[in-house]
Homo-oligomer: A and B are copies of this chain.
Amino acid sequence: MRRGWTPPAKLCNQLTQHKNNGANRLRATIKDVSREAGVSIKTVSRVLNNERYVGAATREKVLAVVERLNFRPSMAARTLAGSRSYQVALICDNPSPYYVYEMQVGIRERCERDGVRMLAQPYDRESPQLERDIGALIDTMPLDGLILTPPVTDYPAVLARLAERGMRFVRVSPSTEPMLSPSVHIDNHAAAAEMARHLIGLGHRRIGFIAGHPSYAASGQRLAGFAAALAEAGIAVDAALLRTGTYDFQSGAAEADALLSLAEPPTAIFASSDDMAAGALATAHRRGLRVPDDVSIAGFDDTALASVVWPALTTIRQPVREMASNAADLLLSGDPASSERRTIAHMLVVRQSTAAPRG
């Protein structure tokens, strides 16, 4: 139904031909290659895995035969004999298709180089089975690694299970236990500061801040960045404008209501997550305020959802694809024992429009 090429008149005939020609010829195996090349099976294996101690001439010879026979090693056999499966899994339950897609593309970009495939299964974060399902996944197949995205990054039962099995995993934007595994994240302090500077640049002086749950490290970092930007601009931090939420819509709505009920309400609200920003947006609309004319609302787009669903928000977004590529890279090339953290540049997304939340 899409662009381009002219559909062929007699594809079926072509297919039949193909079938008769080369069909029933079985896949080539290492054995075939070794016989054709006149070397041992092990030598072929060495060439395939880029091991040392292979003569240059031998290597050439083997590679030529591999090419000629169009040989591809059987993943099943490699997995059974060895200890890896050339597959990574993405554990991702995010409400945003955009996020999921970008994640997958990013992972794939990196995995392609190593001939590694990606198992992608949507997961239900609410499911009490989640831990069990993931257990089944890793028991069934010695995955090369897992990539976790929020909120599964912070499910202790899942993390415990992975650690218990000795599975390698990388977390994207984890909120807890930063040293537990390699991870990828943005610089929350810098991002929050930039967002604050943006609001200050718009002329705002009284900016309400809704912090996230205190138990998350990110919450403090974002608050600190915000405060630093205010300090730069010579604006005193007004404790009355500082509220603490719990990262969800409800708390965002409630805290925004508290802020807007002040005798001297803020002209802008900076929420520490997209859900809370959406809550603030809803509150503003409920109170008959126009956004951003009467009050500016900004926030962190933790799920990459805000920019799609709530176009009115100015957000700090995490470049999802880049995070994904880095996560895959940590999995495939990083030191297994490390807990390296990669910091990704954030993106400030400025929206002009005024719109009610669709969600």
Number of copies: 2
Q: With contacts A101-B101, A141-B75 known, is A1 near B120, CB below 8 A?
A: no
1/0 per residue, CB under 8 A from B, across A299-323: the answer is: 0001100000000000000000000
The interface residues of chain B lying within 8 Å CB-to-CB of A70 are 139
Inter-chain CA distance A11–B15, complex, in Å, is: 58
Query: Counting CB contacts under 8 A, is A333 at the interface?
Result: no
The interface residues of chain B lying within 8 Å CB-to-CB of A142 are 76
| Number of A interface residues in the complex (CB < 8 A) | 78
Inter-chain CA distance A175–B1, complex, in Å, is: 6
1/0 per residue, CB under 8 A from B, across A174-208: the answer is: 01110110000000000000000000000000000
**What are 5 pairs between A and B in contact, CB < 8 Å?**
A2-B303, A11-B177, A23-B166, A72-B136, A87-B119
Determine how close the nearest CB of chain B comes to the CB of A320; give it in whole angstroms: 11
The interface residues of chain B lying within 8 Å CB-to-CB of A19 are 163-164
Query: Counting CB contacts under 8 A, is A326 at the interface?
Result: no
Q: With contacts A18-B160, A150-B1 known, is A80 near B74, CB below 8 A?
A: yes
Segment with Cβ contacts to B, from A52-60, A211-219, A344-352: A211-219
Does B247 lie within 8 Å of A2, measured CB to CB?
A: yes
Determine how close the nearest CB of chain B comes to the CB of A345; give it in whole angstroms: 18
Inter-chain CA distance A283–B179, complex, in Å, is: 56
